Amino acid sequence: MAPKITGYKTHDIRFPTSLSGDGTDAMNTDCDYSSAYVKLYTDSDLTGYGMTFTIGRGNDIVCKAIEELANRLIGKDTEEIFANMGKTWDYLSSDSQLRWIGPEKGVIHIALGAVDNALWDMYARARNKPLWKLVVDMTPEEIVNATAFRYITDAITREEALAMLKEKAATRAEREAKVRELGYPAYVTSAGWLGYSDEKVARLTREAVEAGFNHFKMKVGADRDSDLRRGKIIRSIIDDPQYLPPGLKPRDPNGPDLVGKNAGPTGSVLMIDANQVWDVPQAIEYVKSLAEIKPWFIEEPTAPDDILGHAAIRKALKPYGIGVATGEHAHNRMVFKQLLQAEAIDVCQIDSCRLAGVSEVLSVLLMAAKFGVPVCPHAGGVGLCEYVIHLSLIDYIAVSGTMERNVLEFVDHLHEHFLYPCSINKNGRYNVPSNAKEGYSIEMHESSIAEYEFPNGSYWKSVR
């Protein structure tokens, strides 16, 4: 007899990252990286773990919304849930009273992300596989059934998605072997927070180059002169061969993986991120003024749901060789649909829990693959790196079939709080999660919960 879901527990977990300046940008100046965390229990030992990311205040509100959604699962047969995860997603998103406070956006939607991710974690654990492996071992028909398709069939139909997946299915094993050997390409943001001194930016950039990274992102938008200065500091290091690790030769800036990315002489790439701080005309003029540091793209140049604004910015910056990326605050698959249809982005940046879990992420991966736009997920926050490596592996192995121009964000913060933390190899690439017990890799140490649960964890008590 299959286990049934019997209960849940939420935890409001907050880390005091505002004290060190981690996560600071032009819009978000005092981030306390936080997790609205949920455990789903069954009448067996099987448990599912999920979370969504916030930056502090309001995390308790998300936890309350998670409880409302998780309550809908009580008494459900897990195997019936797993049999059609797309149908399960539709069920969770269809409560008319809870939907009213979205619909499919805001607090209720990111809460659904936590619950859906917990179900996928439980599913993977039930099959003794990491989440990515669970999905890439599915048949094309099973993946389509696991995907949220409502409201996007004018961009991609189930039949089109099935044909795309079938086309890639025969060569999945080759790609899986390749990424296990090489790792998945990563970029680093840890050196580029606005709250860091020039000295810290330089030191962290040198350390990132030494660690094998060749894609780097910095935050911009608070002060143009400061942005240029910091950009030149980063460029002076990443473009200088003397800082490369011993034995590592410069990459070809005109190679297929780097052409069009404004790579410097060592093959290093710089990206910039404004975190929504500008109006459209401001964004265009500001980014033009940063052209001398040669960014590949400007991320989140304006309001995240301004599709036509992003399209206008992309058109204006194209003569300067600067692209546009967005998505970490795109609150559902319909926003991504419109960004792709309007040719508003060069890079698609999914977020693992701003979108409402794996089933909605699958819909965006499929659309991006159809439109030929690379997916480079957002991962700047607690637990997000642990999540998104699974999603990028699914994209590469089962959906798009390419990782040549893709890079996955890596931020070196707070991984020690997870039982199965992500890791980076000597070439600046993510290692492939391989523990059969880790599911979606988001289970936290109980000691971390006890210390940082708000407001009664040991840390928060100590600073009252």
**CA angle (313, 319, 320) in 5-degree steps:** 85
Return d(Cα 311, Cα 345) in angstroms, integer. 7
Torsion sign across C-alpha atoms 346, 90, 442, 68: positive
Which residue do the tokens 């809870």 mark?
A: 98
Return d(Cα 171, Cα 168) in angstroms, integer. 6
Per the annotation, the verdict on 378 as an active-site residue is yes
**Chain length of the chain:** 464
Choose, from 109, 133, 217, 219, the residue flagged as catalytic: 219
How far, in Å, are 284, 296, 312, 339, 377 from residue 317 at the CA level? 7, 11, 9, 16, 22
CB 269 within 8 A of CB 261: yes
Per the annotation, the verdict on 219 as an active-site residue is yes
Beta bridge partners of 173: none
How many angstroms from the chain centroid is the CA of residue 318? 25
**C-alpha atoms less than 13 angstroms from C-alpha of 113 in its C-beta half-sphere:** 31
Secondary structure letter of residue 255 according to DSSP? S
How many angstroms from the chain centroid is the CA of residue 397? 17
Q: β-strands 269-273, 215-219: how paired?
A: parallel
Task: Return the closest-CA partner of residue 322 out of 293, 297, 290, 292.
Answer: 297
Tokens representing 169 are 């299915």
Return d(Cα 388, Cα 380) in angstroms, integer. 10
Choose, from 133, 261, 310, 378, the residue flagged as catalytic: 378
Q: Which residues are catalytic?
A: 219, 378
